[in-house]
Amino acid sequence: MDHFQYANGELCAEAVPIRQIADDIGTPFYCYSTATLERHYQVFADAVSGLDATICYAVKANGNIGVIATLARLGAGADVVSVGEMKRALTGGVPASKIVFSGVGKTADEMAAALKAGVLQINVESEQELETLSQVAASLGAEAAIAIRANPDVDALTHEKIATGKSENKFGVDWDAVPGLYAQARDLAGIRVAGIAVHIGSQILDLEPFRQAYGLIAGLVETLRADGHDIERVDLGGGLGIPYEHETPPTPEEYGAMVQSIVGDLGCRIFFEPGRLIAGNAGILVTRVINIKKGVARNFAIVDAAMNDLMRPTLYNAHHAIWPVTEPPVGAEEMEIEVVGPICETGDTFGKPRLLPELEAGDLVCVRTAGAYGAVMASTYNARPLVPEVMVNDKAYAVVRDRITVDDMLAREQLPDWLQG
């Protein structure tokens, strides 16, 4: 469920007409619904309420500080994979004591920044990373609470570019090497073993991969405890999928019941890292039709948003529903048309030919389910400025990231001395 629906013939974000925002700030822009963010968080929180659970929102899904602050006020922590994301989480009101620092390529400087900030936990991804963290922590006179991320070699049955739990993926420590690395961690200065972590991928539409991975982790907890390690935390990552088209992912309630049945008796604090599940359906990308181009083989609606604003269709062949902002009348005639942007790439498309009502230049359309991995992945390709982000709360809206101008972009560049004059 989301809060982008038609009212009186116009698409609204909660109680704010999308057309009003477009008239005020121009297009394209992202729009996020507070009510949808809150609902999705609460549904997930309710689903895992039977556990000693901490929900650490995955900032990589949508790092806008307005989004983070909305979730922080509900009690969310944060899962971060860079110092930039950590600073965003702190700025959004997430206490350092509820931040988990993940990521496969942490630098020594990032480790130091995380320790100085006092983050709850650092998820370790390799032997070399563990050794570096020990050196950094010892040099600061600090203690790093860690969980080692185990790679269970489980196929998440998702897109190959967002699968992270197979042995050929770059993430985590090979399963057979995990006990030995915990033994090594016990003897390192500045390291305190606190738990174990796993994350097998994103947009997962079947509970079975989770069930396999979590079952393996539960067994590993018992093995590590038998080896004398105090495993008090289990980080299960995120990855539960959402519907973009006709998918029917498991509900949070079904997921929560499965987790309870597998790890509920371990006596551990359980961490979850949902991102897409919370933010995906809470955002749309609004764009305006520049012109309609009718060709011999295909018709095109050329809009003012582009692949630099929303990469998912190009990067993953991802499907996003496209709705006109003006509600079409019942029985309105439809045309087959491809919605594309103005970038000089054939891959600059938001949807292969779709059946849409007759569109004209100037019409507004929205690309739905764009709240996750939309604005955070945007670029300035073709010297196109980043677009604004807007948050709606009932009848009010606010711009939470300004539109960047070309002059702003140029102001960050300068000629070398030999090209001056």
- All domains in the chain, ordered by first residue: 4-32+280-410 (2.40.37.10), 34-276 (3.20.20.10)
When pLDDT is cut at 50, 70 and 90, the band that residue 290 belongs to is: very high
Q: pLDDT tens-digit profile of 32-77?
A: 999 999 999 999 999 999 999 999 999 999 999 999 999 999 999 9
pLDDT of residue 352: 84
Neighbours of 374 (CB within 10 A): 26
Token output for 344:
């000089």
Nearby residues of 37 by Cβ (< 8 Å), 6 or more positions away? 67, 70, 71, 278, 279, 282
> What average pLDDT does the segment 296-302 reach?
92
Token output for 12:
């609204």
Helices (H) and strands (E) in the chain, counts: 12, 21
Neighbours of 41 (CB within 10 A): 22
Q: pLDDT tens-digit profile of 368-414?
A: 999 999 999 999 999 999 999 999 999 999 999 999 999 999 999 99
Pairing status of strand 99-101 against strand 144-151: unpaired
When pLDDT is cut at 50, 70 and 90, the band that residue 281 belongs to is: very high
Taking the C-alpha atoms of residue 300 and residue 64, their distance in angstroms, rounded to an integer, is 32
Is the pLDDT at 22 greater than 90? The verdict is yes
pLDDT of residue 159: 56
Residues in a beta bridge with 141 = none
Taking the C-alpha atoms of residue 397 and residue 38, their distance in angstroms, rounded to an integer, is 16
Taking the C-alpha atoms of residue 51 and residue 251, their distance in angstroms, rounded to an integer, is 17
Q: State the residue for tokens 């822009």.
A: 29
When pLDDT is cut at 50, 70 and 90, the band that residue 297 belongs to is: confident
344 as an active site residue: the answer is: yes
pLDDT of residue 421: 80
Q: Which entry of 31, 268, 344, 366 is annotated as an active-site residue?
A: 344
Token output for 277:
């599940």
Is the pLDDT at 161 greater than 80? The verdict is no
Model pTM score: 0.95
pLDDT of residue 168: 62
Token output for 93:
């009101």
Query: What DSSP line would sit under 182-232, residue for residue?
Result: HHHHHTSTTEEEEEEE---BSSB--HHHHHHHHHHHHHHHHHHHHTT----
Phi, psi of 340 (to 5 degrees): -130, 160
